[in-house]
């Protein structure tokens, strides 16, 4: 547009800044680096850093001119091929060294194996699903099949994978933010409908854990695409400070539909779909808070324990980030806890409303430097240190799903900032 601009970045985030620029089609940008960190420092330190870099900002704004060019674009279909002769161990070593895997073993994506996987969907292999952030790599149906083959998926898993990627590529999912953050965050995938039983996706005991082929291989394939096609690997552009197991295999489980209490609808019906629809819902989340309650015998006892247990931890995804007060949180209720709640005569909406009324933190709990604290005051009027602030603006933002098998556990998944649940129908 002919307007001089300067991009200011923390020194630790130089790589992410440049990768993002290239991914968005800007071959060259004028960068000025500010010594890391930029947060949790005093006003005096902030001023020192500003004074230090201002001459460079002025110089870049008045003298800098772009020089670099974008690399030539390659056709998105068909995928490139390579010849390699060696053992499975040698193939895995080669793929990892070339940045084509993420550390866990893979199956070689031979032409025959990929062709077999493609038989699991009626979608054309050259169909472009979208561009995967942050590198903005092209994701075709063929590319999904390649990574599904690497992860050991069966052909019948393809419709679920494609639906998951269609959801993640929706801007509401905020895939870019989720995959480049410093936080320990991951993708959560919830599956509903007949497809759960058609492909053997686990929905009961240990559904999100080991021992379930469909869950493990689909979750692995999703992360392979995120890291290989999207290019999100540490130390940049993936800036996750510590990371976690969800970076290898994302959270994925089917709702335990046979354990849903009488009078309660399955999660996908809450989302506006028909009971007979097969639906995949994705959302970026922080690690869940585990509610262990072996003792309550009434819904009132149970929810009092639960909200007092998790509320002090909710700042990991709570209203300190005012944007998250508009975001849904996922409450994954274990079957035994849901039966206790239902036996007490509570509907799902009643549980949601009472949870919302109780899960609050006093205004004094947030640091003074927390972003947009002034907006909290505008939202809730005059506040004192003891004013209870809810974790969402309304009870409807608490999404309820029945998850897991026998046992006295439930889970609370706080949302990653800017991530909203996106649901897509599974199309074969």
- Element of type H or E holding 176: helix 175-180
More confident residue, 93 or 26: 93
- What is the biggest distance separating any 2 CA atoms in the chain, rounded to whole angstroms? 72
Q: With cut-offs at 50, 70 and 90, classify the pLDDT of residue 317.
A: very low
Q: Per the structure block, which two tokens stand in for 118?
A: 């493609």
What percentage of the chain carries pLDDT values higher than 90? 66
Q: With cut-offs at 50, 70 and 90, classify the pLDDT of residue 21.
A: confident
Q: Give the mean pLDDT of the chain.
A: 90
In terms of DSSP H, where are the helices of 11-157? 14-23, 43-63, 88-97, 111-118, 141-151
pLDDT tens track for 254-288 = 999 999 999 999 999 999 999 999 999 999 999 88
Q: Per the structure block, which two tokens stand in for 292?
A: 């262990």
Q: Per the structure block, which two tokens stand in for 47?
A: 């001023």
Q: Any idea which of 211-225, 336-350, 389-403 has the lowest mean pLDDT?
A: 389-403
**pLDDT at residue 380, as a whole number:** 74
- Distance of alpha carbon 135 from alpha carbon 273, whole angstroms: 33
More confident residue, 293 or 391: 293
Q: Any idea which of 129-138, 151-160, 299-308, 376-385 has the lowest mean pLDDT?
A: 376-385
- Distance of alpha carbon 115 from alpha carbon 125, whole angstroms: 10
**pLDDT at residue 196, as a whole number:** 98
The angle at the Cα of 374, spanning 10 to 327, to the nearest 5 degrees, equals 75
Pairing of strands 251-254, 360-362: unpaired
Domain residue limits, the chain:
7-63, 88-267, 276-425
- Distance of alpha carbon 115 from alpha carbon 99, whole angstroms: 23
pLDDT tens track for 29-64 = 888 999 998 888 888 999 999 999 999 999 999 999
- Element of type H or E holding 188: strand 186-192
pLDDT tens track for 148-182 = 999 999 999 999 999 999 999 999 999 999 999 88
**pLDDT at residue 72, as a whole number:** 80
Res 371 pLDDT > 70: no
Q: Any idea which of 180-184, 201-205, 367-371, 404-408 has the lowest mean pLDDT?
A: 367-371
For helices 158-168 and 141-151, the axis angle rounded to 10 degrees is 120
> Is the N-terminal amide bond of 318 cis, ω within 30° of 0?
no
* Mean pLDDT of all residues in 134-161: 97
């Amino acid at each position: 547009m002919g307007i001089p601009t300067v991009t200011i970045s923390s020194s630790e985030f130089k790589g992410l800044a440049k990768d993002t620029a290239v991914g968005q089609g800007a071959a060259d940008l004028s960068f000025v680096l500010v010594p890391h960190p930029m947060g949790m420092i005093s006003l005096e330190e902030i001023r020192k850093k500003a004074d230090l870099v201002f001459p460079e900002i002025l110089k870049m704004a008045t003298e800098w001119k772009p020089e670099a060019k974008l690399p030539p674009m390659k056709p998105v279909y068909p995928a490139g091929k390579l010849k390699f002769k060696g053992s499975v161990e040698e193939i895995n070593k080669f793929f990892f060294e070339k940045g084509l895997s993420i550390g866990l073993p893979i199956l070689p994506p031979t032409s025959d194996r990929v062709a077999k996987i493609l038989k699991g969907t009626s979608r054309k292999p050259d169909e472009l699903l979208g561009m995967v952030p942050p590198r903005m790599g092209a994701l075709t149906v063929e590319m999904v099949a390649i990574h599904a083959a690497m992860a050991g998926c069966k052909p019948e898993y393809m419709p679920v994978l494609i639906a998951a990627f269609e959801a993640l590529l929706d801007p509401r999912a905020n895939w870019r933010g989720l995959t480049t953050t410093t936080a320990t965050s991951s993708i959560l995938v919830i599956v509903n409908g007949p497809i759960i039983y058609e492909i053997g996706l686990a929905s009961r005991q240990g559904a999100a854990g080991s021992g379930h082929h469909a869950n493990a291989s689909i979750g692995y394939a999703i992360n392979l695409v995120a890291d290989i096609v999207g290019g999100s690997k540490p130390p940049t552009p993936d800036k996750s400070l510590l990371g976690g197991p969800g970076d290898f295999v994302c959270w994925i489980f089917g709702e335990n539909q046979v354990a849903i209490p009488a009078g309660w609808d399955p999660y996908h019906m809450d989302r506006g779909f028909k009971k007979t629809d097969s639906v995949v819902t994705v959302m970026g989340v922080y690690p869940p808070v585990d509610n262990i309650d072996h003792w309550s015998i009434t819904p009132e006892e149970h929810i009092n324990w639960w909200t007092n247990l998790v509320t002090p931890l909710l700042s990991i995804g709570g209203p300190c980030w005012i944007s998250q007060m508009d975001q849904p949180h996922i409450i994954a209720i274990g079957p035994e806890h849901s039966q206790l709640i239902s036996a007490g005569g509570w509907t799902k909406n009643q549980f949601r409303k009472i949870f919302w009324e109780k899960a609050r933190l006093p205004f004094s709990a947030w640091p003074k430097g927390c972003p947009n604290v002034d907006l909290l005051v505008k939202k809730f009027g005059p506040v004192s240190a003891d004013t209870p602030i809810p974790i969402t603006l309304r009870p409807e933002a608490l999404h309820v799903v029945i998850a897991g098998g026998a046992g006295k556990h439930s889970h609370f998944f706080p949302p990653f900032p800017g991530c909203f649940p996106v649901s897509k129908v599974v199309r074969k």
